[in-house]
Amino acid sequence: MDGKTILITGGAKRVGAAICRRLHAAGANLVIHYHQSAKEARKLQAELNSLRAGSAMLIQADLLDCTSFSNIISTTLNHYGRLDALVNNASSFFATPVGSIGEDDWLDLIGTNLKAPLFLAQAAAPELRKQRGCIVNISDIHAERPMKNYVIYSIAKAGLDGLTKSLARELGPEVRVNAVAPGPILWPEEANKIDEVSRQRIISHTILKQAGNPDDIALAVYYLIANAPYVTGQVINVDGGRSVKL
C-alpha cells in the first residue's frame, strides 16, 4: 500500500474513519471526503498527518451534486499524482415508511447510496484503469433482506449491490469492483430510537451472538484492496452470520 492513493467518501467519522485509519496504517495516502463533518474531518487529518506528514488531505463536497465529482478526482490527482482505489462509504440513512415517503426522501437516499457511487466511479475510472486499481462499495445486509420502514434505503443498497456487479463487468479486467455489506456494527447516530431490547434482539440474530465493530469493516475493505487480486464482482457480508439466520 506504500505510495498508493485512496479516496474514501464519508471518511470523517464512524466506519469511514476506521477505514481511513486501517488503510493509512498500511501505508496509503488518503483523500478523505466529507460533507458536513468538518470538525471530525480536520481532527482525523491532523491525527494521520502527525503519524506521517502529508499523508492525508481533505475534500469537502455534497455528493448529491454530481458536478463536484470531476473536481474531486482532479484535486486528488493534482495533489498526489495518482488514484489507486475508491471507497464509496458515504451514506444517508433514515426511515421512509410507506405512506410518508416524499420525493426529497428518494432523491437523498438514492442520491447518496446509489447515484453518487455510480457517477464518482465513472469519474475515477480512467485513472483507476491506468493504475489497475479497485473500487469498494459499502453496502448493507438489508440490500438482500429489506428493513421494515426503510423502503428507499433498502432499495438503494440493493441497487448498490447490482452496481457493484455491473461495474465489475464494465471496468474489468483493469479495475476490480467489490462491496462489503455490514451487519450490526454501529447503531445509527439516532441510537436513542433503538431501545436495549431491540438491540439485543438484533444481536441474537447473529450466529456469533455479538455486535461487530468498525474495524471489522475496515479489515474487509483492506483485504479487498490489498490482498484480493482475483476477487471482483463480490459482496462480502461482515455481519456475524446474521444474514444466514434472518
Residues with a catalytic annotation lie at 153
Give yes or no for a contact between 185 and 19, defined as CB atoms under 8 angstroms apart.
Answer: no
Nearest to 92 by CA among 19, 177, 160, 22: 160
- Residue among 15, 40, 34, 5 nearest 130 (CA): 5
The residues, ordered by sequence, that sit 6+ positions from 58 with a Cβ below 8 Å of its Cβ are 31, 32, 33, 34, 41, 42, 45
- Cell numbers found for residue 151: 423502503
The 10 Å Cβ neighbour count of residue 114 is 22
- Angle formed at CA 18 by CA 13 and CA 23, multiple of 5 degrees: 125
